């Protein structure tokens, strides 16, 4: 009960925030990106948290999503709302193609293999000029503003779309985590040998998870394209600013929990933006350094993620309750 009240309050606050921000201002952009990255980290959380496979290749699905809807819009005038589903289908297919050979790999090997796949996707996007426009990038064409065309005068609607996306991805994550599939994944995570002998098809469950994660990430790539308006292969398929960042957000926030990626995004994205802002004029690289130091401190302080702050708080409150 208390939990539901908390969820409703948080959603209401999130809905109120865009109302007090400048409708097309800097902070609206930060807020929207934070929500999008939270949703992406949540989609990553399926494979990274529930299936316990550290993917560093999610930029592949993200980039495919951004490019698919934008190319469909450019070449055929198809609304990104529809393009988003084509993006999801291709993202799921790409996840299957990547997961089949890599899913048996454990730990670092899986991480490295997915990182390599992400890089391959980036190279392909750079080289396949006739389709993607190559290194020059793509601009989302201007269409008269309307909801059906997914085109708006202000950033404000994007913030709400990102919020809805985050809620949907989080609900999907939670439904999977609590359902039969979540149980299977948990059994595999806790003891792979035992999971095998009780008849869990470990490969199949992990593939299903990877595909769902790929579909969602690609659809979020479409949303990103609509916000960014312009992107090139090196941004949409970036290992550092997409793949690793998304994994980092989930890890800093708390892997395998629904709250973790949201906390992680609201911690990392604004700080990163602020750092870039404060130090970009002075010494280049200084912001990166400070950001890195902050990350190290947080990881040392909360190795299992920022979510553990809540556990500690709850324990303390209960302790106090017991005393009085």
Partner 1 sequence: MIPAQPLLEIKALNAGYGGIEVLHDIDIEMQEGEFVCIIGANTAGKSTILRAISRLVPNVRGTLRFKGVDLAARTAHDIPSLGIAHVPEGRHVFPDMSVEENLMLGAFTARKSTDLKQRMERIFELFPRTRERRAQLAGTLSGGEQQMVAVGRALMLQPKLLLLDEPSHGLAPKVVEEMHDAFVKIHQGGTSILLVEQNVGLALDVAARGYVLESGRVTLKGTSAELNANPAVRAAYLGI
Sites of contact with partner 1 (CB under 8 A): 183, 186-187, 190-191, 193-194, 196-202, 204
Distance (Å, rounded) from C-alpha 296 to C-alpha 302?
10
Distance (Å, rounded) from C-alpha 280 to C-alpha 257?
34
Could you tell me the smallest distance in angstroms from the CB atom of residue 281 to partner 1? 50
CB closer to partner 1 out of 196 and 277: 196
Count of Cβ atoms closer than 10 Å to residue 172 Cβ: 17
Could you tell me the smallest distance in angstroms from the CB atom of residue 104 to partner 1? 12
Could you tell me the smallest distance in angstroms from the CB atom of residue 182 to partner 1? 12
End-to-end CA distance of the chain: 24
CB closer to partner 1 out of 167 and 200: 200
Could you tell me the smallest distance in angstroms from the CB atom of residue 200 to partner 1? 6
CB closer to partner 1 out of 220 and 255: 255
**Contact assessment for residue 233 and residue 132, using Cβ atoms and an 8 Å cutoff:** yes
Distance (Å, rounded) from C-alpha 79 to C-alpha 100?
32
CB closer to partner 1 out of 148 and 193: 193
Range 8-18 burial, b when 16+ CB lie within 10 A, else e: eeeeeebeeeb
CB closer to partner 1 out of 186 and 294: 186
Distance (Å, rounded) from C-alpha 33 to C-alpha 158?
9
User: Long-range CB contacts (< 8 A, 24+ apart) of 95-101?
Assistant: 95/61, 95/210, 95/211, 95/213, 95/214, 95/215, 96/207, 96/210, 96/211, 96/214, 98/57, 98/60, 98/210, 98/214, 99/206, 99/207, 99/210, 99/211, 100/207
Distance (Å, rounded) from C-alpha 260 to C-alpha 5?
19
CB closer to partner 1 out of 193 and 300: 193
Distance (Å, rounded) from C-alpha 110 to C-alpha 211?
16
CB closer to partner 1 out of 204 and 314: 204
The pairing of strands 138-139 and 230-231 is: antiparallel
Could you tell me the smallest distance in angstroms from the CB atom of residue 183 to partner 1? 7
Could you tell me the smallest distance in angstroms from the CB atom of residue 162 to partner 1? 34
| Among 145, 160, 141, CA closest to 225 | 141
Could you tell me the smallest distance in angstroms from the CB atom of residue 195 to partner 1? 8
CB closer to partner 1 out of 1 and 193: 193
Could you tell me the smallest distance in angstroms from the CB atom of residue 177 to partner 1? 14
């Amino acid at each position: 009960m208390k939990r539901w009240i908390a969820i409703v309050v948080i959603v209401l606050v999130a809905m109120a925030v865009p109302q007090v921000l400048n409708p097309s201002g800097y902070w609206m952009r930060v807020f929207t990106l934070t929500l999008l990255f939270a949703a992406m980290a949540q989609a990553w959380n399926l494979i990274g948290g529930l299936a316990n496979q550290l993917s560093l290749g999610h930029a592949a699905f993200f980039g495919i999503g951004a490019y698919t809807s934008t190319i469909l819009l450019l070449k055929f005038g198809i609304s990104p709302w529809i393009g988003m589903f084509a993006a999801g289908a291709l993202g799921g297919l790409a996840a299957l193609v990547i997961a089949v050979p890599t899913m048996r790999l454990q730990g670092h090997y899986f991480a490295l293999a997915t990182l390599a796949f992400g890089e391959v996707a980036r190279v392909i996007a750079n080289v396949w000029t006739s389709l993607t426009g190559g290194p020059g990038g793509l601009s989302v064409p201007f269409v008269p503003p309307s909801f059906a065309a997914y085109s708006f005068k202000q950033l404000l609607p994007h913030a709400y779309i990102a919020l809805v996306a985050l809620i949907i991805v989080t609900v999907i994550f939670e439904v999977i985590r609590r359902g039969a599939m979540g149980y299977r994944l948990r059994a595999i995570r806790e003891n792979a040998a035992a999971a095998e002998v009780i008849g869990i098809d470990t490969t199949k469950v992990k593939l299903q998870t990877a595909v769902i994660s790929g579909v969602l990430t690609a659809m979020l790539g479409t949303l990103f394209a609509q916000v960014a308006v312009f992107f090139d292969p090196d941004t949409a398929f970036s290992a550092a600013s997409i793949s690793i960042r998304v994994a980092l957000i989930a890890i800093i926030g708390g892997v395998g929990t629904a709250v973790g990626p949201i906390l992680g995004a609201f911690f990392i994205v604004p700080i990163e933006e602020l750092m870039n802002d404060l130090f970009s004029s002075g010494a280049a690289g200084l912001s990166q350094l400070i950001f890195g130091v902050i990350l190290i401190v947080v990881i040392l302080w909360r190795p299992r993620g920022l979510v553990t702050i809540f556990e500690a708080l709850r324990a303390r409150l209960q302790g106090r309750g017991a005393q009085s």
